[in-house]
Amino acid sequence: MTDILTHAVSLLNDRFLGYVLMAALLFAGLYFTFATRFVQFVRPKEMLRLMIGGEGSSKEKGHISPFQAFSISTASRVGTGNIAGVAIAITVGGPGAVFWMWLIAVIGAASAFAESTLAQVYKVKTGAHFRGGPAYYMQTALGSRRLGLAFSVIITLTFAFVFNSVQSNTIAQSLSATFQVDSLLSGIVLAALTAVIIFGGLKRIAAFSAVIVPVFALGYIAITVIVMLLNLEKLPGVLGIILSDAFSLRNLAGGALGATIMTGARRGLFSNEAGMGSAPNAAATANTSHPVKQGYIQTFSVFVDTLIICSCTAFIVLLADYQAFPGLEGVALTQKALTQELGPLGNYFISASVLLFAFTSIIGNYYYGQANVEFVTRSRLVMALFRTGVSVMVLLGAVLQLKLVWNMADLFMTVMALLNIYAIFRLRRQVLDVLADYRRQKKAGLDPHFNPADVPSVKHADAWVK
């Protein structure tokens, strides 16, 4: 029965929804790229300065800083998609899939800017914290609570339950392969740790993510640099095969080029989440002086995830000649590749990276669900039940079949992303006007501060009204 369900979901994704999603993402990404005059490329230094808490960041006690909001979204982005997902993309779609992952990140970064800027514009204040996201701008700016409710349900199912089962599944696989830990035991421990953090509230989630994410992201990059230095003579060949396979006439003639493009784009989307409507839930929590500032930060997060972290895994796998390990996929392939380069240290390092990257993703994914449960109801009982359900799903995910879990993730991701793309395109005027307001203030030599009265197309941005 499980095999039949897996095949049915895979067929639906591959034959219909996958192509619809890619078309929608490309359309939205290209539109916002040109309409914003290439917003994802023009201010890289400013993105970095804003991210680390420079110009215009808030110092108020009790609020989530721009960097902490960045860390929450990056915690969700940097996970199994970077380690297991990239390896799966290469084994299924070939080395050329890496190029399509890069391309979807570059194009999608403009959509990430648009959705995160909107999340800031239409955020709401609850006590000492802000919350928001696509459900909030669907209700406030589009005037459709029904659409917001639909999105809230889908993102909660997608991230808090389905994606978190993917994360716990990958952690359990890694621990089983490296230390022969029983998957059920891994699930129990993960569920318990998850419960400890998520029952502690937003500040604990933000503090946890702000420490763990940068440390292990830098560690993973450092290990990759070592591998690349050990294989300098192979690097030109690896880059060559990525580009040649991406446009291979042999693949085109054999009908495999479509699979290469779809696999790379889908795994890239799962990893960086640009346009899906997930990161805006974290972006809305930041206390900053202008929505565009957090839009820039979330754009930078897409580049960190795909162009840096995902590329690390791709180079580790390709430098080790992945075809020498038939039958291996996902995290097992990445572990084997790094072990070949660094010995047992590589095996243990990947296990530690998977454990911490995936666990931070569980926490980040949970918060996306929390923000949307709060959109539906503020009942403490419902929130307690939701947190318990997330912990249980983390436990169950550790023992589920990998292929079914990934296919379900693709299906839910597609529906959610299509709803969000519809919303941000409907609100394109507001995005462009808010960006123009920011650029106008920067040109005048000011530190931009947002006042809804200065942007006539923006209505009901109540969190910004002093």
**Is pLDDT of 439 > 90?**
yes
- Span 404-422, pLDDT tens digits: 666 666 677 788 889 999 9
> pLDDT value at position 81?
67
User: Between 73 and 259, where is the model more confident?
Assistant: 73
> pLDDT value at position 255?
43
Ranked by mean pLDDT, which of 96-105, 376-385, 429-438 comes out on top? 429-438
Q: Cα(206)–Cα(212) distance, rounded to whole angstroms? A: 10
> pLDDT value at position 262?
63
Q: Cα(277)–Cα(286) distance, rounded to whole angstroms? A: 16
Share of the chain above pLDDT 90, in %: 30
**Token digits of residue 462:** 């109540």
Cα Rg of the chain, angstroms: 21
Instruction: Provide the mean pLDDT of the chain.
Output: 82
> pLDDT value at position 456?
94
> pLDDT value at position 273?
74
- Total residues belonging to the chain: 466
State which H helix or E strand residue 125 sits in: strand 124-126
> pLDDT value at position 106?
87
> pLDDT value at position 326?
75
Q: Residue 166 is which amino acid?
A: V
User: Between 233 and 329, where is the model more confident?
Assistant: 233
Q: Residue 224 is which amino acid?
A: T
Longest Cα–Cα distance of the chain, Å, equals 64
Q: Cα(184)–Cα(196) distance, rounded to whole angstroms? A: 19
Q: 3-class SS at 286?
A: strand
Ranked by mean pLDDT, which of 118-122, 180-184, 209-213, 348-352 comes out on top? 118-122
Q: How many CB atoms lie within 10 A of CB 61?
A: 6
Kindly state the average pLDDT of the residues 314-326.
83
> pLDDT value at position 252?
46
Contacts for 192 with CB less than 8 Å, ≥ 6 apart: 391
User: Between 426 and 466, where is the model more confident?
Assistant: 426
> pLDDT value at position 8?
55
Q: Cα(395)–Cα(95) distance, rounded to whole angstroms? A: 33
> pLDDT value at position 117?
97
Task: Give bridge partners of residue 64 from the DSSP assignment.
Answer: 286
Tell me the HSE value of 68 on the side-chain side, using a 13 A CA sphere. Answer: 22
**Is pLDDT of 343 > 80?**
yes
Kindly state the average pLDDT of the residues 19-47.
86
Residue whose C-alpha is closest to residue 24's, from 133, 86, 88, 111: 111
Kindly state the average pLDDT of the residues 387-416.
78
- Span 164-200, pLDDT tens digits: 887 888 788 778 877 888 889 988 998 998 998 888 7
Question: CA torsion 194→199→204→205, rounded to 10°?
Answer: 50
**Is pLDDT of 276 > 60?**
yes
Could you tell me the pLDDT band of residue 253, with boundaries at 50, 70 and 90? very low
Lowest pLDDT segment from 109-118, 143-152, 272-281: 272-281
Kindly state the average pLDDT of the residues 392-413.
74
Give the residue extent of every domain in the chain.
2-464
> pLDDT value at position 428?
97
State which H helix or E strand residue 124 sits in: strand 124-126
Contact 97, 89 (CB under 8 A): yes
Share of the chain above pLDDT 70, in %: 83
Could you tell me the pLDDT band of residue 127, with boundaries at 50, 70 and 90? confident
What is the DSSP code (8-state) at residue 57? B
Contacts for 95 with CB less than 8 Å, ≥ 6 apart: 238, 241, 242, 245, 246, 318
> pLDDT value at position 254?
41
Contact 392, 165 (CB under 8 A): no
Q: What share of the chain is helix, strand, coil (3-state, %, to 5)?
A: 80, 0, 20
**Is pLDDT of 10 > 70?**
no
Residue whose C-alpha is closest to residue 101's, from 274, 248, 256, 261: 261
User: Between 465 and 449, where is the model more confident?
Assistant: 449
Contacts for 461 with CB less than 8 Å, ≥ 6 apart: 121, 122, 452
**Is pLDDT of 354 > 80?**
no
Tell me the HSE value of 268 on the side-chain side, using a 13 A CA sphere. Answer: 35
Answer yes or no: CATH 1.20.144 is held by domain 2-464. no
Q: Cα(157)–Cα(149) distance, rounded to whole angstroms? A: 12
